Amino acid sequence: MNRLFSDVQHRIDIFAVASVIIPLLIYLFTLAPSVTFFDSGEFLTAIFSLGIAHSPGYPLFVNYAKPFTYLPFGSIAFRVNFATAVSAAAACYGVYLIVCHFLAEESLNTGERQSSVYKKIIALCAAATFAFSARLWLQSNHDKPYPLISFLSAMVFYLLLLWRDRYRQGEEHPAYVYLGAFLCGLAFGAHQTIILLLPSFVFLILSMNWRLITRVKEFILAVFFAVIGFSVHLHMPVRATQNPLLNWGDSKTLPQFLWNLLRQGYPSEKPVRDLTLLWDQINAFNIPHEFTSGGLVLLVIGLIAFLKKKRGEAAAYLIGIVVFLLVIVGYFNALPDLIFLTEEFFTPLYLLSAVFVGLGLFVLVQNALVLLPGGWVSSLSFKVSLVLLLLATPATVCALHYIENDQHENYIAYDYATNTLRSLPQGAVLFTWGDSGAFPLWYLQGVEKMRGDLDIPHTPHLVFKWYLDTFPQLFRYSMLRSVPLETLPPENALQLVVMEQYARRPVFVDFSTRYSVQFPDYRLLQRGICYQLVRGNGEDLYPDLAVWHNYILRGISGDMFFRDLDTGKAILIYANSHLESGETLLRLRQLGQGVEELRAAERIAPQMQMQVAQILGGYGIR
């Protein structure tokens, strides 16, 4: 028994285990407790119902995260966030594996066992550096598919490294390539950016022998295994026939499946690019921001050193950078306010970058051990100092990015959505505009079963027949069924539906809709952050202030460090809603209540002090 236990201990690589456990523990400390903004609520709804998320559907991510929803703790949102943290920790293990592989044949000026320990510590430091990079950390603490695609990318890269080793030894092991092809096809169901790594993967194969391109049989088999992996997309038409809670694109037919897969529902408008915009787009891939300037230096050192030793592997990394930039910057040409979305696509590149940061650490250690006297190298104080110096890189990256990625108290999206629901009377219909205003509502109503009496259509989707089909009662006899939706602007569709619904039930719009669409035939009765449409013209309607007492406002007063773009916008919406109601009350000569509302806006957003002072000054109030 003792011998068996000893064998198990010998086989378990504690550094490999640490490369997963350490990031996972830190991620759990910073994990978002509930739904967040952007695509969160939509992903959560799709995962909970085994449905189809926005184009291209994300079937692998949906099926990966679904088993986590059965965990016996936390909300559904927390469980899916935990699933993302697990995939991010697994991606860190991918870094550890690749660095260990690169260093397997490298030697240090120490004993064999001690050299092995040093190399594993270096690999662990590389994994931790990637774990605490700003991009992966931000993606790890709430529901995102990018850590999963990064893990799969690392596994494919590692399999091809194993294949190259065997090929150098004169052995044919195509199973590594076939498994890599299967994972590539599978990874397509997590995110389509796996395509951008295909040139690197192909180069890793063909750089061993360019004549391999003539092996038709092996090529056909690789494509066959890739297709098997890609078959995870059958989830979309199969589940569409079951009408799940979220059935984006309704992929029952081949045209609708291709519409979804090829992202044909997204606008393709390109901005006129100048040098400033080009630089901003290129800067979406930002090594110093992720790993610090010191990390960039280590990456360059590792890349230069291993360009000589592992030329094909290093070149594959550089090819990946070029392809990503050519496609994401050159072809996508994102609008200035959408560049932040392209930043997420580079996560697999950051994983490979962390590998070369680790190799740079190794080069420094290797040279230090050669230059220093043998007595120093063998001393305990030197060994401890060396380990601490190695840990300095991930520790620095962690310290720099911890506060900005700590979401453990981030209830702002959850509260914003529940406050929206609290603003609405029984049986109302609420039209939303922005994704971040709509998706948390989808999660609360569909997953947590809040306010089933409401209908909450999303205005930009009113021009899609598949979306109208998800509201059979609301749109069964709508005039939208008889007009050519492909030529109808969403705001016109909204005006049409408002006219249909007004006589039947209370009609509301959210803050974003109120400032995105004109309603010339209606007055707006403000109820907190929502507005009821009331027919006719005339003086302002007295805002409903009582609804504010029903709101929960955790985190908006500055006691939560985490802020992203839409979290900041939500806080400003609260402030602007108070500001608007304050101005309305002043116009209605309700000076006391008007001033109180303006002061509430000022407390939520101190940057509004000048604006509040100007409004008060216009009414002669100091």
Q: Per-residue pLDDT for 152 more than 60?
A: yes
With tokens 């000893």, the residue in question is 6
Least confident of 22-26, 85-89, 174-178, 273-277: 273-277
**pLDDT band per the 50, 70, 90 thresholds, residue 560:** low
What are the CA-CA distances from residue 518 to residues 514, 533, 582 (Å)?
7, 11, 21
- The pLDDT value recorded for residue 6 is 44
* DSSP alpha helix (H) spans, 447-539: 465-468, 472-475, 490-501, 511-514
Q: Per-residue pLDDT for 574 more than 80?
A: yes
* Cα–Cα distance for residue pair 129/407, rounded to 1 Å: 20
- The pLDDT value recorded for residue 378 is 66
- Look up residue 303 and give its two tokens: 């890349």
Nearest to 352 by CA among 282, 400, 303, 307: 303
Q: Per-residue pLDDT for 222 more than 60?
A: yes
Q: Per-residue pLDDT for 338 more than 70?
A: yes
Chain segment 575-614, per-residue pLDDT in tens: 999 999 988 888 888 888 888 988 888 888 888 888 888 8
Q: Per-residue pLDDT for 231 more than 90?
A: yes
Chain segment 91-123, per-residue pLDDT in tens: 999 999 999 999 988 877 677 777 788 889 999
Beta bridge partners of 509: 431, 531
**pLDDT band per the 50, 70, 90 thresholds, residue 373:** low
**pLDDT band per the 50, 70, 90 thresholds, residue 267:** low
Average pLDDT for residues 259-281, to the nearest whole number? 81
Evaluate whether 539 touches 583 at the Cβ level (below 8 Å): no
Chain segment 141-151, per-residue pLDDT in tens: 888 999 999 99
Nearest to 369 by CA among 359, 356, 379, 354: 379
Strand ranges across the sheet with 530-535: 429-431, 507-510, 530-535, 522-527
* Cα–Cα distance for residue pair 478/325, rounded to 1 Å: 45
Average pLDDT for residues 279-288, to the nearest whole number? 89
Q: Per-residue pLDDT for 82 more than 50?
A: yes
With tokens 């806006």, the residue in question is 601
What are the CA-CA distances from residue 38 to residues 175, 261, 438, 554 (Å)?
40, 20, 9, 19
Per-residue buried b or exposed e for 73-87, using 16+ beta carbons within 10 Å of the residue's own CB: eebbbbbbbbbbbbb
With tokens 């309607």, the residue in question is 541
- The length of the chain is 622
Average pLDDT for residues 527-536, to the nearest whole number? 90
Average pLDDT for residues 43-71, to the nearest whole number? 93
Average pLDDT for residues 558-567, to the nearest whole number? 70
> Do the bridges between strand 522-527 and strand 507-510 make them parallel or antiparallel, or are there none, so unpaired?
unpaired
- The pLDDT value recorded for residue 8 is 39
Q: Which residue has the higher pLDDT, 378 or 319?
A: 319
- Look up residue 35 and give its two tokens: 């739904």
Q: Per-residue pLDDT for 303 more than 80?
A: yes
* Cα–Cα distance for residue pair 77/531, rounded to 1 Å: 28
Nearest to 140 by CA among 74, 86, 187: 86
Beta bridge partners of 430: 508
Evaluate whether 129 touches 68 at the Cβ level (below 8 Å): no
Q: Per-residue pLDDT for 379 more than 90?
A: no
- The pLDDT value recorded for residue 266 is 73
Q: Return mean pLDDT, the chain.
A: 88
- The pLDDT value recorded for residue 7 is 45
Average pLDDT for residues 277-297, to the nearest whole number? 90
Q: Per-residue pLDDT for 347 more than 70?
A: yes
Q: How many Cβ atoms are within 10 Å of 488's Cβ, its own excluded?
A: 14
Average pLDDT for residues 397-424, to the nearest whole number? 90
Beta bridge partners of 527: 530, 544
Q: Is the dihedral of CA 192, 194, 197, 202 positive or negative?
A: negative
* Cα–Cα distance for residue pair 93/23, rounded to 1 Å: 10
- The pLDDT value recorded for residue 558 is 63
Burial class (CB in 10 A: 0-12, 13-18, 19+), 454: buried
Residue 535 main-chain phi, psi, to 5 deg: -65, 150
- The pLDDT value recorded for residue 607 is 86
Q: Per-residue pLDDT for 127 more than 90?
A: yes
Per residue, the 3-state secondary structure of 139-177, as one string, reads HHCCCCCHHHHHHHHHHHHHHHHHHHHHHHCCCCCCHHH
- The pLDDT value recorded for residue 375 is 60
Evaluate whether 180 touches 153 at the Cβ level (below 8 Å): no
- The pLDDT value recorded for residue 372 is 65
- The pLDDT value recorded for residue 2 is 43
- The pLDDT value recorded for residue 469 is 87
Question: What residue segments make up the domains of the chain, in order of their start?
Answer: 15-253+260-405, 412-618
Mapped onto helix, strand or coil, the DSSP state of residue 203 is: helix
Chain segment 271-283, per-residue pLDDT in tens: 788 888 888 888 8
- The pLDDT value recorded for residue 369 is 77
**pLDDT band per the 50, 70, 90 thresholds, residue 5:** very low
Evaluate whether 557 touches 603 at the Cβ level (below 8 Å): yes
Q: Per-residue pLDDT for 4 more than 50?
A: no
**pLDDT band per the 50, 70, 90 thresholds, residue 616:** confident
Question: pTM higher than 0.85, yes or no?
Answer: yes
Sequence-distant contacts of 332-336: CB under 8 A, at least 24 apart? 333/270, 333/271, 333/273, 333/281, 334/271, 334/281, 335/269, 335/271, 336/271, 336/277, 336/280
- The pLDDT value recorded for residue 1 is 39
Chain segment 162-212, per-residue pLDDT in tens: 999 998 888 888 899 999 999 999 999 999 899 999 999 999 999 888 888
* Portion of the chain with pLDDT greater than 90, in percent: 45
